[in-house]
Structure 1
């Protein structure tokens, strides 16, 4: 390997040799873009100096830095540094910049993690600056950043860029896409007099310009109170200054934006660039790297601006889907679309409105947004499940690019009519009204029929298992959704009772407490009840990992072994992120359930706090609430009271069925998963895969093709790595436009998230509680003390065992009818949902007050 290379000898494929920064500078140079001349000391130079360095163990950071600062520089390395510097000119001022092999990557920029030294003059000064760059690979911040991105310390090397300094009159940074709103091709430029370090380091409030299509959309003047300037003979100085005017003319702003477009076009992706303008007015590029924080866009096959809604966010599953999970969801969506008369020609293609981006599922709601009828119906539907999205769609309705083009309601009404007929909605609703017991029996029979349909003979071939899986996934949704008319009758009568009595719906929430026939509530109560029957000793004494080993070996105490097995036989198909077919179920990985049991058994609580007692109390309060609403109705007429009592009794009988379709859907996914594991074992035998679970990193089409043989192990390894990387994404938009814009980011943060010092969201479950907050991002292994207030991104049924001990609930996502809200009401837990950034703005241990009726969270 060469010890030093000129930028003209470097390209993007030389990452391992020159690091990310140098690879990009070389690529820009070779593309003919204006880059100051420079050379790069390759990772070979670092390797020679770092020989013998241990990259693990205690005191790693300090030990590594001391080694690199004190170890002798080999003669060959010293010579390479001196010659590289001399090649740029006689005592020319240079910037000495770190260029790590794990830097400026598509998924992690590492911006600012290693050091840069500006205006370095003289050969020995350059040698010293290079040595300090090497040492900066081992700062605490750089180590922590690598660990957070899953990058092995031992695999990282550092090259060093030595580049001619631009004596900048103005400098700064430019994003070729808006990093806040996500809008692509909207350049955002920060500029300040002097060197760009003032802007990059955040030491100054720079001028800001936003440019789109050659038009300057925004100009914001910064105070520009600090300028960093080069000093004669080397080094820099910081000078306090005062600049009232903009430091860039409109002509320069447009020229910079045009240069940014050239850079983005070269890379084919938005870029984060640094630039400088010299005393002659010439613009120079000093760096370019991918903008790693932008959410990837769905592939578009239809023209115009599109509006996408996140299925993951709505379901509280922030993690990506596995490839087979995506395949399964597409099949299910195709089955749903057929009910409305819009099914795809090939079911495996999924519904026309389903899209994939960032390994997550999205619905294209453009047609609804641009429909007069859709603009009425969509907000009402979202209010129930994802209330924070409602103002976003109201905001989009004002965008002239999304004007109404579908004025007739007939297509929607035809689709809804077709849907109602195909699931026999009128007859199911009539059954619920007139023969409630028969309606409940019908819902139960659906589950029994589903269990029969999920059975696959042991002798089934892999091809037959795939055929069965595709039939189940495409055909199950139309069957299980047929129970929804029964649940809708319950909620419809709830609304009718409010109208007849004059009691606001918000004052009737107690009626929805402790409703029967909710499979998730029943599961949670059965789990708690286990604690009253099993032997407590091992759960109080042993760590969860050991409990799992004992259970899987059949060596737990006999009652615990038997009762937990029975519980998992009934509910083992559930799990966290359970709508992804590729995710293990509790029956496969029981650590979560055993950990919950251990937490329950370690608690001290009176019998009155037992969930069964609280549930019974909630049912009594619900009956009392019905009597109060009926009394209010009686004052308006005797017949009204009778109708209200009738309606609210039906509400309590059927409201719990809201959770049943998903319960059955997840059971279907679990059944298909079991069958696909058998197919995976077959593929392992063929040498196609290393492990049966690797099958979930293939789509259904690919799995069928793999039955003919081949080797997909490398494909699986790459997909698993991409999945794990995407799992670390910290932000997923709830609504995304096809130009990259996140509508939520356009809203005012102050107006959206605070009112009178309180965080605000959607009122979900009435009541007020003051307690200690517990922020939980992942329910697996989480521990919640009785009375603590659970703060979480969202919930699916895998979270609900935590509800049994929670004093209150705050969720970032959701609406009044979202899963967490429904379960919180049933347990009588005060809850506020749809609170922006709750998991960041509230900290564990902080005392807060949750007002579930007002929808506010007050930080005390």
Structure 2
């Protein structure tokens, strides 16, 4: 059995480590691949009995994993790092068979036993039915074998999957990138819809984008991902799909495999062949994502049953159905009547519904709501835990029959409430002449349930505010309810919380997935909402509702006055007004009483049954019940039998569903969408209506709730983002449910991607008097968190604002270009200070000293870097000034080599020694503050030196090129060759690194330890000579090998495993002897200079000029690169280390929680 570390030669043999590991092993030497180790196929061959419970085999496997896992922890500096456990089957990721999705991957695993379990799961997947079917389809014979890769988990800020060819159209001139925030499993699982980009290969320009969850990744990073895909396509020799993670601005390659098919498969089996002739739209507005079997049953027995029953009972001319394909719901509609009869039939159906709306409020209060509550009372009274088996099974089926009835009531309500609101808009527009959507305000502020929810939330917040200790604990971060009880005043708050949950505990779910918990089951969600409210002053509910009702009363008063002399029209308005005021609030209140509460009771019953089945040995865990269908649960209750295998198959099937790319539509091609109009009617099956944007700065949507508000954008993609919201921000989401109400009361305004004037978001916004624009397509991908916007809910316009405070009002007259060359994203405050006190300061002092006609500037606006330039002395001869400045810089170059050796380099070394020696342990606060100031003074001085050096070095190289081309007539490449091989510091670095590698090569023990991926300390301990060599190397170059060019980069000295990695790569790849290479470079330089002297031999003045410039260039030119060693890398790492030292001091003082803050 062998363990192969990524990048080692052993990791390149696909016949033993599998295609996935071999691909990553090959690429690890050139790309940023997270470290990891692979248990090759021989481990599977020898220890496979562990799959059948063989204790001895498992113990041997555990020992093997434990040793390698400990080594990985040592390499990355963590005791038990989180890892991803990935199958790497022999033959996987080959050119003709990628096995994508056929074998298991288990993410975010920690601990030896958990890794062993995950590894066995991977081994088991090689024998799964789907993998066997795939091998058969691809004609792959023989006994399957598998290796497993255990790789450091990257805690991704965002993840991406990229295809170097369009997997749908097969186009080879584009890269398709799917991106999402967080870990990639959320994207693969379908719990979120990824952003999708098509990027042209030719120029890396984004040709199209479809963004569903906000701008997960900046455009510049999308381009970088596309560039990486193109590079890997070249490296792999054909189209590839890659997975990568973005963490702290760095791109990590997680997987790379060939694209063996350029068409995604989404298998569909039609129960009725005629269904294939219909267009089925993916139902993202209500049932987004992939659902497990019991959640599918909830939709079938709830919304789908309710809408079909209501349409049939009222003789509606449409048949509407929701069907799950691979766990995703699709909706379709077909007429019961001919195309000629359909318009009249729809009109008649709408009139019937509007008629029913006249009595809807009375029916709701007296009949429908009491019936719904009676069903919930029955559900609460059922005791699945203790009932006899047959009674429990019958009660389970009865629960779903009652769900049928509850959802039938749901559509009785909506089928009347929405049409009467549309009728109100039409009547208002016809009689008064105004915008029909304006009339919707008449029902706002009249939803008693939602008002009570807001009042009770406000009261709960005030209960927390009454105890300073409780308020501080809640505002401080995640807290359990139990922990609050022990705090002074906590018991009173907990009682208030329990009272609130007793009334409203059955809401708070994000969606229709039964695994989504209500506040009663996860009160921590509620605490997060209270924490948000504690951070700002909340408007009193009574004042809010009075403010909200004022526009409604004003509109009614004005309309009555306008129609006073037209009694028949006034009577018509009063009739529809009365119906709308009664039924209108139910467009949202029904979501509280039915959508959320029916879900909560179904989930609670399912978990109670699941707990019973666990006790009876049928299931392994309570939540396994979500992987069963309703009849299967009933059968299990009647005849308990182990369903562990069935559950496991379902779990794998669910994982497979989540890996599929679900198309927007299936079946017949969709017709062109109709125009977007205000309102939402039942005939509208697909609620994904949105306005297409043609301007990225002025966005258009549907006016939903009047008013104008400004504030920073807050992108909320689900309840996991709720804690991000702050009072006064603009809530931006795809759509929302009643559980989002706490955010509305904090929001300055609301923007949604989909909906209409009567969508949930619009109704709730009007209810709470919050300006809103809905159906603002792609707003999540267009706006960014924190970006200031103006929302005009009256006109449906959203304007992007970019507030800038100009240091000098005259700066507003300059053209500022975003500096993507050095920073492609917004940077935190200390990084801004690093630039301000470094490059910005250095350029300003350089230009003051050398007097160019143009002043270069760097500034940060909203965290992004911008550069500009302005004339220092307008009106003067700029060309003459520029010539004079270049001449001064070239004169500076004549003495720069001497100044560098005698002044600047010793000064830099003194600064770095001071930074390394910095200790704050014995310093008072004042002394530490003085040291902080001194640190930045030294940083400024280092960058002043940096700019002086480059101001001399680059111009003299330009002068050499001009002189050589003018006098000799050679090429620019020949001119630059004259100075190559003269960077003595870099030569010494290369020489020492080569010597260290050869020392390792001469020691078999060290070379083996490096190849086996052992920790730095273990490698170092293998040979005293090597230990001495590597210590000497770190002493000389330890600060130069920073892990990146960014502020705070980790140097070789701080993480010697980086150096070991460099040695490992050199051991695996033959490298030219440094002295041989340097001699080769100098021979070319000597030959170019010899030919130049021959050419100029008969022109002594030109020869003298050439020799003068050449001498200066040879002395100063190497500093164009050497300054990066002495300044960029060493200053980055030393400043970062010093900053962390101060951060640690602030942690000890209680000012920060983490040094990196």
Q: TM-score range with shorter-chain normalisation?
A: 0.5 to 0.7
Of 758, 767, 773, which aligns to 2:707?
A: 767
| Residue in structure 2 matching 1:808, options 749, 758, 762 | 749
Instruction: Measure the CA separation in 2 of the matches of 1:107 and 1:858.
Output: 48
1:561 aligns with 2:544: no
- Within a 5 Å distance, the mapping from 1:534-573 to structure 2 comes to 536-537=466-467, 538-543=469-474, 545-550=478-483, 557-573=490-506
1:578-636 CA distance string (max 9 Å, x none):
43334322211111112212221x23326xx334311211112210121122333346x
- Which residue of the partner structure matches residue 967 of structure 2? none
Decide whether aligned partners of structure 1 residues 477 and 569 sit closer, same or farther in structure 2, where only a CA change above 3 A counts.
Answer: same
Write out aligned runs for 1:838-853 (5 A).
838-853=779-794
The aligned residue for residue 785 of structure 1 is: 726
Task: Select which of 583, 592, 606 maps to 1:676.
Answer: 606
1:854 aligns with 2:804: no
| In 1: Cα distance, 2:669 partner to 2:78 partner | 42
Contact 2:310–2:408 (Cα < 8 Å) also in 1: yes
Identify the residue that residue 120 of structure 1 maps to in structure 2.
Answer: none
Identify the residue that residue 337 of structure 1 maps to in structure 2.
308
The change in CA–CA distance for 1:300 and 1:540 in structure 2 (over 3 A counts) is same
Q: Deviations over 1:103-143 (max 9, x none)?
A: 95469999xxxxxxxxxxxxxxxxxxxxxxx9x9979xx94
Match of 2:170 in 1: 187
Q: CA deviation at 1:502?
A: 1.6
State the partner residue of 1:323: 293
Whether the aligned pair in 1 keeps the contact of 2:704 and 2:766 (CA below 8 Å) is yes
**3-state DSSP of counterpart to 1:694:** helix
Deviation at 1:323, TM superposition (A): 1.7
The residue that corresponds to 2:281 in the other structure is 309
Unpaired runs of at least 5, structure 2: 5-13, 25-37, 45-60, 81-92, 107-146, 176-197, 207-226, 243-255, 674-689, 802-1157
Structure 1 residues 327-380: Cα deviation after superposition (integer angstroms, max 9, x where no partner): 12112323532444499xxxxxxx983221352322123x36xx9x8xxxxxxx
Check whether the contact 2:473–2:479 (CA below 8 A) recurs between aligned residues.
yes
1:272–1:289 CA contact under 8 A, matched in 2? yes
The correspondence for 1:832, drawn from 752, 760, 773, is 773
Map 1:34-113 onto structure 2 (within 5 A): 52=68, 54=70, 60=76, 104-105=100-101
> Aligned to 1:800, what secondary structure does the other structure show?
helix
* Structure-to-structure mapping, 1:595-610, within 5 angstroms: 595-600=528-533, 602-605=534-537, 609-610=539-540
Provide the secondary structure at the position in 1 that maps to 2:518: coil
Q: 2:439 aligns with which of 487, 497, 508?
A: 508
Pairwise CA distance, 1:20: 3.5
Asked if the contact 2:20/2:257 (under 8 Å) is kept, the reply is no
> Which among 571, 589, 597 is matched to residue 667 of structure 1?
597
* 8 Å Cα contact 1:761-1:835 kept in structure 2: yes
Q: Are the aligned partners of 2:446 and 2:767 in contact in 1 as well (CA < 8 Å)? A: yes
Relative to 1, partners in 2 of residues 1:319 and 1:797: Cα closer, same or farther, differing over 3 Å? farther
* CA distance 1:857–1:709, shift in 2 (3 Å): same
CA contact 1:107–1:292 (8 Å) conserved in 2: no
**TM-score when normalising by structure 2:** 0.46
Matched residues in 2 for 1:832 and 1:464: separation?
Answer: 47
Q: 1:57 to 1:641 in 2, by over 3 A?
A: farther
Counterpart contact for 2:17–2:41, Cα < 8 Å:
yes
Pair 1:361-2:329 in alignment = yes
Q: Is the Cα–Cα contact under 8 Å of residues 568 and 587 in structure 1 kept in the other structure?
A: yes
Q: How far apart, in 2, do the equivalents of 1:535 and 1:728 lie?
A: 46
Distance of aligned partners of 1:743 and 1:841 in 2 relative to their CA distance in 1, 3 Å threshold: farther
Check whether the contact 2:170–2:263 (CA below 8 A) recurs between aligned residues.
no
Moved more, 496-505 or 643-652: 643-652
TM-score, normalised to structure 1's length?
A: 0.60
Report deviation, 1:22. Answer: 6.9
Output the CA distance in 2 between the equivalents of 1:757 and 1:149.
Answer: 26
| Cα distance change, pair 189–614 in 1 and its aligned pair in 2 (3 A) | same
Shift in Å, 1:325:
0.9
Shift of 1:813: 2.4
Q: In the alignment, which of 401, 405, 411 is matched to residue 481 of structure 1? A: 411
CA contact (8 A) 1:109 1:290 kept: no
- Give unmatched runs, 5+ long, in structure 1: 5-13, 25-39, 65-96, 111-133, 151-171, 193-199, 209-225, 231-235, 239-258, 261-270, 274-285, 344-350, 374-405, 745-749
Cα RMSD between the aligned structures? 5.5
Larger radius of gyration: 2
After superposition, the Cα gap between the structure-2 partners of 1:740 and 1:725, relative to the gap in structure 1 and judged at 3 Å, is farther
Higher helix share: 2
2-side partners of 1:15 and 1:137: how far apart? 18
Cα gap change, 1:299 to 1:856, in 2 (>3 Å): farther
Q: Residue 291 of structure 2 contacts residue 513 of structure 2 at CA under 8 Å; is this kept in 1? A: yes
Aligned to 1:593: 526
Q: 1:640 aligns with which of 569, 590, 595?
A: 569
Please give the per-residue CA displacement for 1:741-790, whole angstroms capped at 9, x wherever unaligned: 9989xxxxx99323373222322222221211112222345142221111
Supply the distance in 2 between the matched residues of 1:552 and 1:701 (Cα, whole angstroms).
Answer: 43
Cα distance, 1:689 vs structure 2: 1.1
Q: Distance in 2 between matches of 1:291 and 1:618?
A: 57
Counterpart of 2:814 in structure 1 is: none
Aligned equivalents of 2:288 and 2:71: distance in 1?
33
CA distance in 2, matches of 1:334, 1:415: 21
Pick from 719, 734, 739: which aligns with 1:798? 739
Distance 1:714 1:740 in 2: 39
SS at match of 1:532: helix
Question: For residues 551 and 721 of structure 1, do their structure 2 counterparts lie closer, same or farther at Cα, with a shift above 3 Å needed?
Answer: farther
Counterpart position of 1:445: 370
Number of the residue aligned with 1:300: 270
What is the rounded CA distance, in whole Å, between the counterparts of 1:491 and 1:207 in structure 2?
Answer: 43
CA contact (8 A) 1:494 1:647 kept: no
Q: Structure 1 residues 490, 719: CA separation in 2 closer, same or farther (over 3 Å shift)? A: same
Residue of structure 2 equivalent to 1:527: 457
SS of the residue corresponding to residue 717 of structure 2 reads coil
Equivalent in the alignment of 1:195: none
Post-superposition Cα deviations, 1:463-498, rounded to whole Å, max 9, x if no partner, equal 122221221123322234333465244553443233
Using a 3 Å threshold, how does the CA distance of structure 1 residues 437 and 682 change in structure 2: closer, same or farther?
Answer: closer
Q: SS in structure 1 opposite 2:324? A: strand
Counterparts in 2 of 1:55 and 1:515: CA distance versus 1, 3 Å: farther
Distance 2:588 2:159 in 1: 36
Task: Rate the CA distance shift 1:201–1:485 in 2: closer, same or farther, 3 A.
Answer: closer
What's 1:82 paired with?
none
Asked whether the equivalents of residues 331 and 473 of structure 1 are also in contact (C-alpha less than 8 Å), the reply is yes
Change (3 A) 1:501 1:489: same
Change (3 A) 1:848 1:479: closer
Return the alpha-carbon distance in structure 2 between the equivalents of residues 629 and 496 of structure 1. 11
Distance in structure 2 (CA, Å) of the matches to 1:288 and 1:740: 30
Check the 8 A contact 2:703/2:793 in 1, yes or no: yes
Task: Kindly indicate whether the alpha-carbon contact (under 8 Å) linking 2:753 and 2:774 is maintained by their aligned counterparts in 1.
Answer: yes
Deviations 1:481-525 (A, max 9, x none): 3334652445534432332222221333433432234x3443233
Q: 1:687 to 1:555 in 2, by over 3 A?
A: farther
SS at match of 2:537: coil
Change in 2 beyond 3 A, CA 1:783/1:638 = same
1:52 deviates by 4.7
Distance in 2, matches of 1:440 and 1:797, equals: 20
Rounded Cα–Cα distance in structure 1 between residues aligned with 2:454 and 2:261: 44
1:819 Cα deviation from its structure 2 partner? 0.9
**3-state SS of the aligned residue for 2:563?**
helix
Higher RCO, Cα 8 Å, sep 6+: 1
Alpha-carbon distance between aligned partners in 2 of 1:741 and 1:704, rounded to the nearest angstrom: 39
